[in-house]
């Protein structure tokens, strides 16, 4: 239509010229001079421009005017059937809201840029190399030790962002592609004392170019520069905006104040801007310290790390010079790094697996959040996408049924000469309006959902950094999604109801086969999609059950855990051991606490947290790895209710000067001692060249996480180790959290500078490690219920409509003597066939699709037959339930009334 | 052929032009200039078609699907656009005509001097 208008308007000039030409000719024929004739013709035509504008206006208003008409008409239609409208909007709101909520999280980790100037010119420096383990599982790599993480890249390569300090210096020299190259190093938890008040904060060590490279301006004072970052400079610190508010009452008050970081005095020189969170969206440092101050905080012994070419610890980002592309930078720097790193290799094996430099876009900061959450969120997004598809199919179905009722109206309009396109457009306007209303309410659901999801995902983490928000990007996607949904579910019914067999519709007003077929297709689609979600929910619930039924071998209930780090407030060996032991006795004396103990960390995170031996061990002639070492204090086995099978547990007798002792778990004892009694025998920690006497055997327990934990454990005495941070465990009568106040009092009495951290019950500590599985199980169960509900409503609606349509046929059957039972069966059989077809389509799809989620499952196969069967049974039951009411209604049809109706 | 005096000429009422165009085209397809001329000629030059509103009116009728446009050759052998009535246009013409007749009749009855009543 619009193309035709354009052509007409384009030709109008020519047409008017012709018109005037003709009039001129006539005037000449009548005897005027050519000049007069032309003037007369022009005068008679009037204002040419005005005429053209008027003609254009005729066309330009059409579209808008018709849209306004359609919207007004659509609103009237929606008001006319409030039940349908409410159900449709509610369903859509749930579907769109769920999608918006999940998408907002995706957006926050995948698309959002760092809040700094020109983030797009930032690049992150990484390296990749062949996996360091060769065929016989030996580690061969120039990276001898690392402080940080490496992850798996493409083709099984190892990727990391950690570099030796030498690489940072080399890459920073006379750099033609970067205007700045800056480094940073995770400072971990530190004890920050302000005016005698201590708290535990996250620190980040940064090089002198860090803030300049990020182009960040201070909220107050000045930021760290190169002068602050050299050995011997006055210790200066920058604090986060939040810290300045919590601890100083505002940025301005903080400047020039003295603080203690792990008992080392620093001066606050500046405050970072409020929106700044460093370079890693997964971490929000409270405290920024010049890199070289780690010599003060961590001790002069750390000086060696600046010279060790095989110790990987510093991370880097660079800012590209204007006009330099990332590829150019890569080409310029890769050979330089190559040359440097080659010099650090000492063996053939190391030379064969040299790391190669790899630049990545740095606009969004580091990728740790992306790596952690993008896959789970993608799975969730697919689930909610399916739900929305079910919702769309459902509304499409309702619209089809309604289209039947409006068939006469459509036929009348078509026969009165309304173009089919025009009528389809009007119907689509109606469904897009419906979807837009759904989207608007969906945003309300999304806000609620984002809160709920943040709560579920964070699950008690102290500084959870994944923050979703409804920004314009998210809202835009929601709007687009709504319109798309409207078109999706509106198109089939619109085309269906304007099919050109107008006359038959006018005659009897009853729909024919094609629409019923379309309805069945939509119902089958809903059933198939619901099955997928049901299976997903089943798999995740099954996984959670398996995790919950893992035999821990130690007590879950009535245990209070909390951590202390006395070394950060100046306690040193050997006094620190006594300090910790004394505290344990005082905790045990709290009324209601039956026993107290300490260890290097909670058992569930013993393999990841705290300082403990992780190398190979030797018993007799056997050398082995994989046994977990737990640094434990007196009464550990008693407190954790782990049975002692032979000998004794670690107790007060084990002192720093006495014989080093160990208690081993039953599995370890059986494996290396068979039926002999291990008590009195020895175990050796090879890397530490430490010989321990075995004094007892404990029952088996799960050392470390539920999924990967080891069944072999070696307990060593805390007094004979040199722990930094320790975790206390109190066995309490009743709710463990009731004793928190007493704990705080005792610690304050002992040393008021030590903050108590990670106060948590054992149950919560364990649940925290499976928070993703809990979240998935909860969310997917919710999704499954929702999907089932929507699909059931769809099935119910379709069958009810079919029964109503077949009233006369059923009437005749009953008049001919068909029993009610047969009528019920007739309807239910159709329901079962639909469900069966849905399942036949869905089962293979499920088998293929769920390989994707294999990594989320624990001791559960993606094709778990039990789960598939349960999902199938649930689905068929729901289908029968939804179909029963219409079937019953069919069997109540009065044959006489039905026939008369016809 | 402007033989009549200006005072006797009547500007067309809004909307009437559409009806007259439809009526003119009922006799066969015509181009714009010819339509205007035909209306003036058939009304003995009483009705004056304002040329500036002719083309917007034609476009309006196309938009409503009452007429359509085709290429043809004018009397002096030049290419021109010819407007032709559609079936719907013809229907619309009948509808509008009867409406107009009713209206005209009613107005005439009101305006007729009382003495002349039959």
Residues A608 and A629 in one domain: yes
Among residues A612, A615, A603, A597, the alpha carbon closest in space to that of A716 is found at A612
Confidence at residue B5, expressed as pLDDT on a 0 to 100 scale: 47
Candidates B62, B74, B91; nearest CB to A22: B74
Reported in sequence order, the residue ranges of A383-531 that DSSP labels E, i.e. its strands, are none
Question: What does residue A714 show for φ and ψ, rounded to 5 degrees?
Answer: -120, 120
Residues A331 and A421 in one domain: no
Alpha carbons A493 and A396: distance in angstroms, whole number:
7
Contact A355, A143 (CB under 8 A): yes
**Cβ of residue A419 closer than 8 Å to a chain B Cβ:** yes
**Cβ of residue B41 closer than 8 Å to a chain A Cβ:** no
**Cβ of residue A16 closer than 8 Å to a chain B Cβ:** yes
Reported in sequence order, the residue ranges of A622-703 that DSSP labels E, i.e. its strands, are 622-624, 628-632, 644-647, 661-665, 682-685, 690-698
Positions in chain A whose pLDDT score sits under 70: 1-3, 60-63, 134-138, 415-419, 459-465, 500-515, 900-902
Is pLDDT of B118 > 50?
no
**Cβ of residue B73 closer than 8 Å to a chain A Cβ:** no
The full 3-state SS of A702-762, as one line of letters, equals CECCCCCCECCEEEEEHHHCCCCEEEEEEEECCCHHHHHHHHHHHHHHHCCCCCCEEEEEH
Domain for residue A764, yes or no? no
Alpha carbons A265 and A263: distance in angstroms, whole number:
6
What is residue A566's three-state secondary structure?
coil
Top residue of A3, A46, A54, A419 to mutate, by most chain B CBs within 10 Å, is A54
Residues A478 and A596 in one domain: no
Domain for residue A763, yes or no? no
Among residues A273, A182, A287, A298, the alpha carbon closest in space to that of A236 is found at A287
Alpha carbons A279 and A369: distance in angstroms, whole number:
12
Partners of A122 in beta bridges: A319
- What is the 8-class DSSP label of residue B13? P
Distance from the Cα of A485 to chain B's closest Cα (Å) equals 31
Among residues A753, A702, A729, A739, the alpha carbon closest in space to that of A566 is found at A753
Candidates A25, A47, A48; nearest CB to B76: A25
Question: What does residue A647 show for φ and ψ, rounded to 5 degrees?
Answer: 65, -140
Residues A674 and A625 in one domain: yes
Tokens 């008017």 found at: A16
Residues A869, A874, A875: CA angle, nearest 5 degrees? 95
Beta carbons within 8 Å of A851's beta carbon, 6+ residues apart: A862
**What is chain A's Cα-based Rg?**
37
Residues A379 and A427 in one domain: yes
**Cβ of residue A19 closer than 8 Å to a chain B Cβ:** yes
Candidates B56, B74, B80; nearest CB to A51: B56
| Closest residue in chain A to residue B87, using alpha carbons only | A417
A54/B56 Cβ within 8 A: yes
Confidence at residue B6, expressed as pLDDT on a 0 to 100 scale: 47
Last residue of a domain, one of A319, A339, A363: A363
Domain for residue A647, yes or no? yes
Is pLDDT of B2 > 60?
no
Top residue of A5, A13, A32, A45 to mutate, by most chain B CBs within 10 Å, is A45
CA B61 to chain CA centroid, nearest Å: 12
Tokens 């009304």 found at: B43
Contacts of B3 in chain A (CB under 8 A): none
The widest CA-to-CA distance across chain B, in whole angstroms, is 57
**Cβ of residue B109 closer than 8 Å to a chain A Cβ:** no
Domain for residue A92, yes or no? no
Task: Render pLDDT for B46-104 as a digit per residue (tens, 0 to 9).
Answer: 777 777 788 888 888 888 888 988 887 777 677 788 899 898 889 989 988 888 888 88
Burial class, A655, CB count within 10 angstroms (exposed 0-12 / middle 13-18 / buried 19+):
middle
Residues A209 and A340 in one domain: yes
Helices (H), A207-352: 210-214, 241-248, 251-254, 294-297, 326-342, 348-352
Scored b (16 or more CB within 10 A) or e, B65-99 reads bbbebeeeebeeeeebbbbebbeebeebbeebeee
- Structural domain including A10 reads 2-67
Alpha carbons A459 and A113: distance in angstroms, whole number:
26
Contacts of B50 in chain A (CB under 8 A): 46
Last residue of a domain, one of A310, A344, A363: A363
Distance from the Cα of A50 to chain B's closest Cα (Å) equals 7
Among residues A535, A603, A503, A480, the alpha carbon closest in space to that of A865 is found at A535
Tell me which H or E stretch contains B88: helix B87-111
Last residue of a domain, one of A720, A753, A786: A753
- Count how many domains chain A has: 4
Contact A123, A290 (CB under 8 A): no
| Closest residue in chain B to residue A27, using alpha carbons only | B1
Q: How many Cβ pairs closer than 8 A exist between chain A and B? A: 66
Tokens 């050392």 found at: A703
Confidence at residue A813, expressed as pLDDT on a 0 to 100 scale: 85
- What is the 8-class DSSP label of residue A112? P
| Closest residue in chain B to residue A63, using alpha carbons only | B63
- Strand A264-271 and strand A220-221: pairing? antiparallel
B88/A18 Cβ within 8 A: no
Show me where the domains of chain B are located.
Answer: 9-112
Contact A524, A837 (CB under 8 A): yes
Q: How far apart are the first and last CA of chain B?
A: 39
The widest CA-to-CA distance across chain A, in whole angstroms, is 137
- Four-point Cα dihedral A212, A215, A216, A218, nearest 10: 60
**Cβ of residue A36 closer than 8 Å to a chain B Cβ:** no
Give the fold, CATH level 3, of B9-112: Arc Repressor Mutant, subunit A (1.10.10)
Residues A817 and A742 in one domain: no
Among residues A415, A422, A418, the alpha carbon closest in space to that of A504 is found at A415
Residues A544 and A646 in one domain: no
Distance from the Cα of A120 to chain B's closest Cα (Å) equals 51
Candidates A8, A21, A44; nearest CB to B59: A8
Domain for residue A82, yes or no? no
- Residue-by-residue DSSP string for A1-58: -HHHHHHHHHHHHHHHHHHHHHHHHHHHHTT--HHHHHHHHHHHH--HHHHHHHHHHH
Tokens 């010989």 found at: A691
The full 3-state SS of A824-878, as one line of letters, equals HHHHHHHHHHHHHHHHHHHHHHHHHHCCCCHHHCCCCCCCCHHHHHHHHHHHHHH
Q: How far apart are the first and last CA of chain A?
A: 43
Tokens 């204007």 found at: A322
Asked if residue A574 has a cis previous peptide bond (ω within 30° of 0), the answer is yes
Confidence at residue B8, expressed as pLDDT on a 0 to 100 scale: 56
Residues A359 and A375 in one domain: no
Task: Render pLDDT for A511-531 as a digit per residue (tens, 0 to 9).
Answer: 455 667 788 888 899 999 999
Residues A25 and A141 in one domain: no
- The pLDDT-based confidence of B13 (bands split at 50, 70, 90) is low
């Amino acid at each position: 239509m619009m193309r035709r208008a354009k052509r007409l308007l384009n030709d109008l000039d020519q047409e008017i010229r012709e018109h005037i030409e003709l009039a001129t000719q006539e005037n000449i024929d009548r005897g005027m001079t050519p000049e007069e004739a032309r003037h007369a013709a022009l005068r008679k035509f009037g204002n040419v421009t005005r005429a053209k504008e008027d003609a254009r206006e005729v066309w330009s208003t059409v579209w808008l005017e018709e849209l306004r008409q359609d919207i007004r008409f659509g609103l009237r239609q929606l008001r006319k059937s409030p039940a349908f409208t409410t159900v449709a909007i509610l369903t859509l709101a749930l579907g769109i809201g769920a999608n918006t909520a999940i998408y907002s999280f995706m957006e926050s980790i995948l698309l959002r840029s760092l809040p700094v100037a020109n983030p797009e010119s930032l690049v992150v420096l990484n390296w990749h190399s062949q996996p360091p383990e060769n065929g016989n599982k030996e580690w061969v790599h120039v990276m001898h030790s690392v402080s940080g993480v490496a992850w798996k890249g493409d083709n099984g390569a190892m990727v990391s962002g950690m570099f030796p300090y030498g690489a940072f210096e080399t890459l920073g020299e006379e750099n033609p592609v970067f205007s700045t190259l800056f480094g940073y190093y995770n400072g971990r938890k530190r004890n920050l004392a302000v005016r005698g008040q201590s708290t535990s904060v996250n620190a980040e060590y940064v090089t002198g170019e860090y803030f300049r490279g990020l182009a960040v301006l201070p909220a107050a004072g000045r930021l760290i520069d190169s002068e602050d970052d050299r050995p011997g400079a006055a210790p200066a610190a920058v604090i986060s905006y939040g810290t300045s508010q919590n601890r100083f009452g505002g940025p301005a008050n903080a400047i020039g104040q003295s603080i203690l970081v792990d008992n080392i005095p620093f001066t606050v020189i500046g405050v970072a801007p409020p929106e700044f969170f460093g370079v890693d969206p997964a971490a929000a440092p409270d405290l920024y310290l010049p890199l070289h101050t780690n010599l003060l905080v961590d001790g002069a012994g750390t000086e060696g790390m600046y010279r060790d070419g095989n110790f990987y610890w510093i991370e880097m980002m660079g800012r590209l010079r204007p006009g330099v592309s990332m590829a150019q930078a890569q080409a310029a720097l890769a050979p330089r790094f190559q040359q440097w790193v080659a010099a650090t290799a000492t063996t053939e094996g190391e030379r064969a697996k040299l790391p190669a430099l790899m630049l990545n876009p740095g606009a969004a900061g580091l990728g740790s959040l992306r790596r952690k959450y993008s896959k789970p969120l993608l799975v969730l997004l697919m689930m909610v996408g399916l739900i929305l598809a079910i919702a769309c199919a459902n509304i499409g179905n309702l619209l089809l049924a309604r289209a039947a009722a409006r068939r006469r109206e459509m036929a009348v309009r078509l026969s009165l000469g309304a173009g089919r396109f025009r009528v389809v457009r009007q119907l689509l306007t109606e469904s897009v309006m419906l979807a837009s209303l759904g989207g608007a309410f969906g945003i309300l659901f999304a806000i609620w959902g984002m809160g709920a999801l943040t709560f579920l995902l964070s699950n008690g983490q102290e500084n959870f950094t994944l923050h979703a928000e409804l920004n314009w990007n998210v809202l835009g996607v929601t709007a687009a999604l709504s319109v798309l949904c409207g078109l999706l579910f509106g198109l089939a019914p619109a085309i269906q109801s304007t099919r050109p067999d107008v006359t038959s519709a006018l005659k009897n007003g009853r729909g024919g086969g094609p629409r019923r077929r379309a309805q069945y297709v939509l119902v089958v689609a809903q059933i198939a999609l619901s099955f997928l979600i049901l299976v997903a929910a089943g798999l995740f619930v099954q996984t959670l059950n398996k995790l919950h039924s893992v035999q821990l071998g130690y007590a879950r209930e009535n245990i209070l855990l909390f951590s202390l780090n006395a070394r950060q407030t100046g306690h040193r060996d050997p006094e620190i051991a006594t300090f910790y032991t004394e505290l344990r006795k005082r905790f045990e004396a709290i009324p209601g606490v039956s026993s107290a103990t300490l260890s290097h960390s909670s058992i569930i995170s013993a393999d990841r947290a705290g300082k403990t031996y992780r190398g190979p061990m030797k018993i007799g002639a056997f050398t082995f790895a994989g046994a977990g070492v737990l640094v434990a204090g007196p009464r550990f086995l008693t407190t954790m209710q782990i049975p002692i099978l032979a000998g004794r547990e670690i107790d007060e007798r084990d002192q720093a000067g006495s014989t080093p002792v160990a208690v081993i778990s039953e599995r370890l004892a059986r494996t290396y001692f068979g039926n002999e009694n291990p008590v009195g025998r020895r175990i050796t920690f090879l890397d530490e060249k430490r010989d321990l006497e075995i004094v007892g055997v404990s029952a088996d327990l799960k050392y470390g996480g539920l999924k990967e934990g080891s069944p072999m454990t070696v307990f060593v005495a805390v007094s004979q180790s040199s722990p930094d941070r320790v975790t206390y465990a109190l066995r309490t009568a009743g709710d463990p959290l009731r004793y928190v106040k007493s704990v705080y009092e005792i610690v304050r009495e002992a040393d008021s500078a030590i903050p108590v951290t990670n106060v948590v019950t054992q149950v919560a500590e364990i649940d925290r490690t499976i928070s993703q599985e809990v979240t998935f199980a909860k969310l997917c169960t919710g999704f499954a219920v929702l999907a089932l509900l929507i699909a059931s409503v769809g099935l119910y609606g379709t069958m009810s409509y079919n029964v109503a349509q077949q009233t006369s046929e059923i009437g005749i059957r009953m008049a001919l003597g068909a029993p009610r039972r047969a009528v019920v069966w007739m309807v239910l059989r159709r329901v079962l066939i639909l469900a069966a077809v849905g399942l036949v389509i869905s089962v293979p799809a499920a088998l293929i699709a769920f390989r994707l989620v294999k990594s989320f499952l624990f001791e559960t196969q993606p094709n778990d037959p039990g789960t598939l069967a349960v999902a199938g049974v649930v689905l068929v039951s729901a289908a029968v339930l939804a179909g029963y009411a219409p079937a019953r209604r069919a069997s109540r049809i009065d044959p006489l009334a039905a026939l008369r109706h016809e | 052929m402007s033989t009549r005096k200006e005072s006797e000429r009547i500007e067309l009422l809004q909307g009437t032009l559409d009806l007259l165009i439809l009526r003119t085209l009922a006799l066969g397809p015509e181009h714009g200039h010819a339509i205007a001329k035909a209306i003036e000629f058939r009304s003995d030059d009483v009705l004056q078609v304002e040329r500036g509103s002719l083309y917007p009116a034609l476009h309006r009728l196309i938009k409503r699907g009452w007429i359509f446009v085709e290429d043809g050759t004018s009397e002096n052998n030049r290419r021109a656009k010819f407007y032709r009535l559609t079936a719907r246009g013809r229907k619309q013409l009948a509808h509008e005509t009867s409406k107009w007749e009713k209206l005209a009749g009613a107005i005439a009855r009101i305006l007729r001097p009382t003495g002349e009543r039959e």
